[in-house]
Amino acid sequence: MIGGGIAGLAAAHRLVELTSTVPYGLDVTLLEAAPRLGGSIATEHRDGYVIEAGPDAFLTEKPWAVALCERLGLADRLIGTRADRRRTYVLHGGRLRRLPEGFALMAPTRLGSVWRSDLFTWRGKARMALDLVLPRGPDRDDESLAAFVTRRFGREVLDRVAEPLVAGIYTADAATLSLRATMPRLLDLERRHRSLILALRRARPAGDGAGRQAGPGGSSGPRWGLFATPDAGMGLLISALASRLPAGAMRLGAGVRAIVPSGNPGAPARYRIVVDGGPAVPADGVVVAARAPEAAALVEELDPRLADLLRSIPYASSATTTLAFDRRQIAHPLDAFGFVVPRAEHVPLLACTFCSVKFAGRAPEGRVLLRAFAGGALRHDDLARDDDALAAMTEAALRPLLGISGRPHLVRVHRHAGAMPQYLLGHGARVAQIEARAHAHAGLALAGGAYRGIGIPDCIHSGEEAAERVLGAIVPQSAARR
Ligand SMILES: Cc1cc2nc3c(=O)[nH]c(=O)nc-3n(C[C@H](O)[C@H](O)[C@H](O)COP(=O)(O)OP(=O)(O)OC[C@H]3O[C@@H](n4cnc5c(N)ncnc54)[C@H](O)[C@@H]3O)c2cc1C
């Protein structure tokens, strides 16, 4: 296993699970370049706060993260989002306004709440309703999220909802983001039902005014109600996975330089894994769970064309700044999980999460924990500051929006350089080519957020599938050797 992020750990864990009952005689080794496991996932516990450096939750709708937590004995440690605050604000005209209830997959499902909203003009509202009568779009394999949303709902939904949500979730530009690779359901709904509003309304469970996102206080935003996280933070998932791997299976500070074919039919293994500053590791199977550019460097000698394809997946950088205050320092009611920031507002933030509102146990009583996101595909220049300047920029941006007085008790900046793969138009076709080439090398598999989903459940799924694929290629070999 190369890479000790969630995908590499899930792969290693799956191999251990699969081989625990059958004596295949396999050794599992996980090589991680950094001095710690987790990749983008890291949780800090400080002064009674639970501070997430990267992801703070995962979707429960996709089964793989919840299933893994169950197998790890963490099911009782999972908490959901607070039901009575499931809503999102959008910054518009310098003021935070509620995203109308019932926005599902960036499409409105409750026209009543849209009519009452001060987020859109009357013209914008009327344009949104046109979706009810518009014909299907032309049949095509892929379309940018911006083109699709504008075509169905008009420019205001793009500028005020879709673009900032996409910037917050994918740190991406909606104009180049592949809809097929990120939200294929929207394309499929249009193909089957024509009108998105009608299709999503039909999909709502009976009696649920706002669809599956609904909580007692109404809901909006990117499926807030469907997220879960360990009570002690996402780091618990990493430590639980690590604890299930055999002693000595994990090597930290072990940066892999290359995967080379052993080149000799009589060699003890198919590949030699060249590790910086250490002896090469022989391996019959390899799961590469590093980011795509790093994976490209590793397979360069093995398959230069595969390396080129991997390099064609671009990445964006972001940073999170976490700030803690006394509740009385903030005038805003904080009756939501946070807000998103459209580009047109010219505020140097992508979004802000009210962490201690979203999940219980994130801050001591009477305190508030906020986390703001900066950078992304469209705002990377904002990251060119040092940590102190980034924190000051964030604090200055939040102060008028939330009515903050006084200074924060705690400030933490976490950077995620080149951490977020960008699923550009045609991403699905690119990944199919990458997989076809990778599968031509027996015992080699790729895993991680670069390919078929950036979310934690998708990364876990990709790691587990890669482990199964590699095991399938190894078992005949290792059995033959015994
Ligand atoms: C700020 C932020 C917030 C996010 N929020 C959410 C969220 O709330 N919910 C959600 O579901 N997802 C979220 N995501 C996405 C999700 O966290 C990532 O997609 C996921 O963690 C990626 O996991 P991974 O294992 O593929 O890669 P990574 O976490 O990037 O791990 C790759 C590992 O490979 C190692 N490596 C690289 N090269 C080598 C080498 N040559 N040799 C050895 N090791 C190497 C790296 O050091 C790293 O540890 C967020 C991402 C970011 C950045």
The reply to whether ligand 1 has any atom less than 6 angstroms from the CB of 40 is: yes
Q: Measured between alpha carbons, how far is residue 293 from residues 19, 180, 405, 447, 450 in Å?
A: 31, 22, 43, 13, 10
Three-state secondary structure call for residue 323: strand
Pocket test for ligand 1, best of 6, 31, 32, 40 (most atoms within 8 A of CB): 40
Three-state secondary structure call for residue 241: helix
The reply to whether ligand 1 has any atom less than 6 angstroms from the CB of 58 is: yes
pLDDT digits (tens, 9 = 90+) for 307-359: 999 999 999 999 999 999 999 999 999 999 999 999 999 999 999 999 999 99
Two tokens, residue 171: 């740190």
| Model confidence at 479: pLDDT above 60 | no
Q: Whose CA is nearest to atom 19 of ligand 1?
A: 454
Instruction: Find the mean pLDDT for residues 168-197.
Output: 92
Q: Whose CA is nearest to atom 4 of ligand 1?
A: 55
| Model confidence at 218: pLDDT above 70 | no
The reply to whether ligand 1 has any atom less than 6 angstroms from the CB of 300 is: no
The reply to whether ligand 1 has any atom less than 6 angstroms from the CB of 291 is: yes
User: Which range among 10-19, 94-103, 215-224 shows the weakest confidence by mean pLDDT?
Assistant: 215-224
Q: Residue 216 — very low, low, confident or very high, per pLDDT cuts 50/70/90?
A: very low
Q: Whose CA is nearest to atom 38 of ligand 1?
A: 290
One-character DSSP codes across 45-81: EETTEEEESS---EESSSHHHHHHHHHTT-GGGEEE-
Q: Whose CA is nearest to atom 30 of ligand 1?
A: 39
The reply to whether ligand 1 has any atom less than 6 angstroms from the CB of 33 is: yes
Instruction: Find the mean pLDDT for residues 109-129.
Output: 93
Closest CA to 144 of 127, 158, 133: 158
- What pLDDT shows up at residue 211? 33
Instruction: Find the mean pLDDT for residues 209-234.
Output: 57
- What pLDDT shows up at residue 26? 84
pLDDT digits (tens, 9 = 90+) for 434-450: 999 999 999 999 999 99
Two tokens, residue 372: 């703001």
Q: Are 11 and 4 in contact (CB under 8 A)?
A: no
Q: Measured between alpha carbons, how far is residue 354 from residues 85, 210, 337, 402 in Å?
A: 10, 22, 5, 11
Rounded Cα gap, residues 285 and 257, in angstroms: 16
pLDDT digits (tens, 9 = 90+) for 379-396: 889 999 999 999 999 999
Count CA within 13 A, CB hemisphere, residue 368: 24
Count CA within 13 A, CB hemisphere, residue 247: 0
**Cα 200 to averaged position of ligand 1 atoms, centre (Å):** 32
| Model confidence at 219: pLDDT above 70 | no
**Cα 39 to averaged position of ligand 1 atoms, centre (Å):** 5
| Model confidence at 247: pLDDT above 50 | yes
Q: Residue 473 class from Cβ within 10 Å (0-12 exposed, 13-18 middle, 19+ buried)? A: middle
**Cα 238 to averaged position of ligand 1 atoms, centre (Å):** 12
Specify the pTM: 0.94
pLDDT digits (tens, 9 = 90+) for 289-308: 999 999 999 999 999 999 99
Nearest-atom index, ligand 1, CA of 10: 25
- The rounded percent of the chain whose pLDDT value lies above 70 is 93
CATH of domain 103-217: 1.10.3110.10
Q: Measured between alpha carbons, how far is residue 478 from residues 9, 29, 286 in Å?
A: 22, 16, 14
**Cα 425 to averaged position of ligand 1 atoms, centre (Å):** 22
The reply to whether ligand 1 has any atom less than 6 angstroms from the CB of 289 is: yes
Rounded Cα gap, residues 141 and 137, in angstroms: 12
Per the prediction, the chain carries an average pLDDT of: 91
Two tokens, residue 31: 């090589």
Nearest-atom index, ligand 1, CA of 457: 11
CATH of domain 6-41+234-313+424-481: 3.50.50.60
The reply to whether ligand 1 has any atom less than 6 angstroms from the CB of 8 is: yes
pLDDT digits (tens, 9 = 90+) for 44-76: 999 999 999 999 999 998 999 999 999 999 999
| Model confidence at 12: pLDDT above 90 | yes
Q: Whose CA is nearest to atom 35 of ligand 1?
A: 3
- The rounded percent of the chain whose pLDDT value lies above 90 is 80
User: Which range among 180-189, 215-224, 266-275, 424-433 shows the weakest confidence by mean pLDDT?
Assistant: 215-224
| Model confidence at 191: pLDDT above 70 | yes
State the CB neighbour count (10 A cutoff) for residue 221: 25
The reply to whether ligand 1 has any atom less than 6 angstroms from the CB of 32 is: yes
| Model confidence at 221: pLDDT above 70 | no
Domain regions of the chain by residue span: 6-41+234-313+424-481, 103-217
Nearest-atom index, ligand 1, CA of 58: 11
